[in-house]
Amino acid sequence: GAGVSQSPSNKVTEKGKDVELRCDPISGHTALYWYRQSLGQGLEFLIYFQGNSAPDKSGLPSDRFSAERTGGSVSTLTIQRTQQEDSAVYLCASSLGQGKNIQYFGAGTRLSVL
Amino acid sequence: AQSVTQLGSHVSVSEGALVLLRCNYSSSVPPYLFWYVQYPNQGLQLLLKYTSAATLVKGINGFEAEFKKSETSFHLTKPSAHMSDAAEYFCAVSNSGGSNYKLTFGKGTLLTVNP
């Protein structure tokens, strides 16, 4: 079946612009996660959704970052007023549930802020 | 709090040689442990996981890892490297308790396989 799909695969934007990154999880997966992968920081947890609610947003680096999930499926990560330090690969994952359930990852969106 | 340390950001082996990628973790509760592999421009793919059953875990592509509580280690091994194993490998930990959805990753180890 289809895996986790992320779009766009690459995004180049100018400093100060807003960007939206999209994630389509595996059908039936109730849990969805966003991670950020950058050269300096490695892989960092950003946010976790169970259904449409986000019980843990603790990894969002600033209030410029927000995410939502609608219909228990597609999720959008929005970064407002982008800064150069936001340049990274943003990875989405989904799983059947939490804990020991396997998180399946998408290929990511590579964001470059000029 | 939990953390993962991967010793060696870059490991180079010859084709057919043993692969050993090191991972040490810290966790205040019994952990779940994972190894993921990432090929260029792709997402992470699970190799294997430990969730408190057998301490020797076998994964895909001939990899295995052993959970050693006394050493807080979960090293990844493969007896004979193939060229196709060249990739970046990430060790990750999550709690078996409360925040068990959150994966904490090591910095990764880039494996190079020489012909």
Query: Tens of pLDDT along A26-63?
Result: 999 999 999 999 987 789 999 999 888 888 888 999 99
Q: What is the pLDDT of residue A71?
A: 87
B89 touches chain A (CB under 8 A): no
Contact B49 A107 (CB under 8 A): no
CB B92 within 8 A of CB B76: no
Q: What is the pLDDT of residue A41?
A: 78
Distance from CA of A114 to the nearest CA of B (A): 21
Residue A45: Cβ within 10 Å count = 21
Contact B49 A100 (CB under 8 A): yes
Q: Tell me the chain A residues in contact with residue B5 when contact means C-beta distances shorter than 8 Å.
A: none
Q: Which of B18, B7, B5 is nearest to B113 (CA)?
A: B18
pLDDT-derived band at B43, boundaries 50, 70, 90? confident
Q: What is the pLDDT of residue B22?
A: 97
Query: Tens of pLDDT along A70-79?
Result: 888 999 999 9
A65 touches chain B (CB under 8 A): no
